[in-house]
Amino acid sequence: MERGVHEIGPAGLAPGVASEVTIPRGRIILRKLSSDTRLQGYVYWPCGATRSAPLLVAVHGISRNAREQARLLSECAEQYGVVVFAPLFGVDFFPDFQRLGRRGLRADHALDRLLEDFGRVTGIDTRRFFLYGFSGGGQFGHRYAMANPGRVRALAVTAAGWYTWPDTARPFPQGMAACGQLPDLRFDLERFLRVPVSVLVGAGDVMRDQSLRQSAGVDRRQGENRVERGRRWLRRLRREARQRGLETRYRFRLLEHSAHDFEECISRDRMDHEIFRLFFGKSGAHV
């Protein structure tokens, strides 16, 4: 057990049965499913939050720093009264979580099961939530939202390496057409285009390192670095939405003092405050 992490045991409840489990306030809690302990995540429940509090799901990148995300987002969670849930997609079981799980376990199904359990034992409404992801978590986040737009109240992505294009003719994960590896995966572009989306990228996040997907097709369509790719993807979403008469809010934020590091984005550019303002501020997506 990590120091400073309190583990709440699995519930093991029948569907629809409420539990007496109380999540401790103001602490980072590790929660696992009783039926499948490979499915787990960290919870931060603010001291003053009630069961009617909004829910923010925060998804890690390939460093799988779920606990760090919960910790670094806890200050703003307290300020705004938001419950944070940070799923942990372990490398042994979720090697392809960024693309929802073409290999290993399905990460999107795992998140659904985790949230169903969390809602059942706490009474919080997990049917719709705010979704945030950093790097590989940003890849997972936008792809989850494309497949489940009715569940995502608003989406924020930081520094995704590349994006699924809103192209219904190109197979997933390049586009939104059917994929042989995930035959049950379905997308609803029009509904997804109604989800408010924010993209944040560090101004220094322009390195073409090993973690950045590199191919002639992706470079040509999306750009050569994370800044270009985030801008172009958001621009394409705006165009698709306007063609359908939608006035969805899309926002791009350049983090002036950061590169590709979650903690750096928070310490140097207060990215946590920016995310919570985008989601929960007076002009945010939930108002």
Written as tens digits, the pLDDT of the chain (287 aa) is: 333 444 544 443 333 434 446 788 999 999 999 899 999 999 999 998 999 999 999 999 999 999 999 999 999 999 999 999 999 999 999 999 999 999 999 999 999 999 999 999 999 999 999 999 999 999 999 999 999 999 999 999 999 999 999 999 999 999 999 898 998 999 999 999 999 999 999 999 998 877 787 787 788 888 889 999 999 999 999 999 999 999 999 999 999 999 999 999 999 999 999 999 999 987 654 43
For 215, the token pair is 């191919």
Alpha carbon distance 45, 81 (integer Å)? 8
Q: What is the model's pLDDT at position 34?
A: 87
Spatial distance between the Cα atoms of 131 and 22, rounded to a whole number of angstroms: 24
Go through the domains of the chain in sequence order and give each one's CATH number: 22-280 (3.40.50.1820)
Burial class, 123, CB count within 10 angstroms (exposed 0-12 / middle 13-18 / buried 19+)? middle
pTM for this model (two decimals): 0.91
Q: In a 10 Å sphere around its CB, with 0-12 CB exposed, 13-18 middle and 19+ buried, how is residue 189 labelled?
A: middle
Asked whether 40 and 33 are in contact (CB, 8 A), the reply is: yes
List Cβ neighbours of 126 (8 Å cut-off, separation of 6 or more). Answer: 55, 115, 116, 118, 119
DSSP secondary-structure letter at 45? -
If DSSP codes are grouped into helix, strand and coil, which group holds residue 88?
A: strand
Residue 9: the pLDDT is 47
Strand boundaries in the chain, DSSP class E: 5-8, 28-32, 40-44, 55-59, 83-88, 129-134, 152-158, 197-202, 250-255
Q: Does residue 144 contact residue 186 with C-beta atoms inside 8 Å?
A: no
Closest CA to 173 of 227, 110, 102: 102
